[in-house]
Amino acid sequence: MTYRPVRLGVLGLGRAFMLMLPTFRNDERVRLVAAAAPRAESRDAFVAEFGGRAYGTVEELAADPEIDAVYIATPHQMHADHVEAVAAGGKHILVDKPLAVTLDDADRMVAAADAAGVRLIVGPSHSFDPPVGLARQIIAAGDYGKVRMVQAFNYTDFLYRPRRPEELRTEEGGGVLFSQGVHQIDIVRLLCGGRARSVYAMTGAWDPERPTEGAYTAILDFEGGSFANLTYSGYAHFDSDIWMDDVSELGGCKDPASYGVARRALCDLDPEAEAQLKQTRTYGTGAEPPRPEANEHFGPIIISCDRADLRLMPGGVEVFGDETRSFIKSPLDPAPRKPVIDALVDAVHRDRAPVQTARWGRASLEVCHAILSSAARRKPVTLTRQTGIETEETQL
């Protein structure tokens, strides 16, 4: 069945919106009709490219009768208030990861979506990446048995990309866990069935000039017996993209000559100058990320099943079976984040939820907090708010 395009409003025209632009521009199933942002330059640029309307407040956007859904791409700590406002306006919601910073805010967001009878999708996260979806299909087919173990690791320059001051404060959602770890957690939960039981973890905060978590290692065990190891470092030394065919996280080709550029760019910058540098990466400034040449990814991921290991790559999934080795391709779509739009169309036109609902996002957020708690206490933490794939695909 062919549906009319989803009429989408956008709240926030910063870096997150910039990363969705190639998809919005190349997927005819969505039409940008309105936006709200504090910077007049960004609002003017939006109207110049997409037409429609530009507002200064979330309340005005939520009241727009022509909008079907709103993409919330504002800073983490604002998500709860913005979701409540948009849900009260009767709009379906795509909210950028993480769902929230605190679990109390996550509870508010679940309740707001339920009370309004709207769908809330948490994304884009790398759990929507096409190779992840392909791996899920391979696992579901059952040819290689059950998932037994997952190894996920990623080494990046995340902590040394331009940051606003609050992005270096853990209590405000700063550090690698809420912005980066939630990707890894989402992927691993998706591959292992969703319901993690406990977490044992250590974290690292090794740079006093950037006093938040820059690294972690965590072990998760799941209902059904599978377990996973998750490791992340954002300290801008080793770059695990060299194990991903020199493809960057966003699907671009990695230039070896760019090594060290993140740290060099911050030399001699005070916090105000660094925040201004980050602003040059927002919509309306002319600084857009390069168009992807491969699927996005979140570092090396290996899934061990009974009869094969599956290796996720930007181009697809490599299968190491008992006696043969093969590669199943996952081509790049002109709309790089097409699975996110698939979920949005299903929510608006078919009243169907993807796995990544508000409850799913809250469960991944619980793991983030459990990693921090386990590292502080040096003890395992039992999880109590997890949700499985089988219930998320059918619930309101």
Least confident interval from 101-110, 265-274, 280-289: 280-289
pTM score of the predicted model? 0.95
State the Cα–Cα distance between residues 21 and 112, nearest whole angstrom.
Answer: 28
**Which residue do the tokens 């709860």 mark?**
80
State the Cα–Cα distance between residues 159 and 263, nearest whole angstrom.
Answer: 9
Closest CA to 343 of 306, 392, 285: 392
18 close to 51: Cβ distance less than 8 angstroms: no
**Which residue do the tokens 């493809």 mark?**
247
Banded model confidence at residue 293, pLDDT cuts 50, 70, 90:
very high
* Average pLDDT of the residues in 138-151: 98
Q: What ranges do the domains of the chain cover?
A: 6-126+336-357+385-392, 130-329
- Residue 393 token pair: 């695909």
- Residue 11 token pair: 């709240």
**Neighbouring C-alpha atoms within 13 Å toward the C-beta of 60:** 10
Q: What is the CATH number of domain 6-126+336-357+385-392?
A: 3.40.50.720
DSSP output for 48-103? HHH-SEEESSHHHHHH-TT-SEEEE-S-GGGHHHHHHHHHHTT-EEEEPSSS-SSH
* Average pLDDT of the residues in 186-193: 98
- Residue 213 token pair: 């978590």
| pLDDT surpassing 70 at residue 43 | yes
State the Cα–Cα distance between residues 37 and 10, nearest whole angstrom.
Answer: 8
- pLDDT value at residue 58: 97
- pLDDT value at residue 289: 80
308 close to 322: Cβ distance less than 8 angstroms: yes
* Average pLDDT of the residues in 23-32: 97
- Residue 329 token pair: 């391709």
Task: Give every CB contact of residue 199 below 8 A, 6+ residues apart in sequence.
Answer: 218, 219, 220, 367, 370, 371, 374, 380, 381, 383
- Residue 333 token pair: 């779509």
- pLDDT value at residue 390: 64
Largest CA distance in the chain: 61
* 381 vs 275 pLDDT, higher one: 381
C-alpha of 276 from chain center = 24
State the fold for domain 130-329: Dihydrodipicolinate Reductase; domain 2 (3.30.360)
Closest CA to 94 of 160, 30, 183: 30
C-alpha of 291 from chain center = 18
- How far is the first Cα of the chain from the last one, in angstroms, to the nearest whole number? 22
State the Cα–Cα distance between residues 229 and 100, nearest whole angstrom.
Answer: 24
Average pLDDT, the chain: 95
Omega of the bond prior to 165 within 30 degrees of 0, cis? no
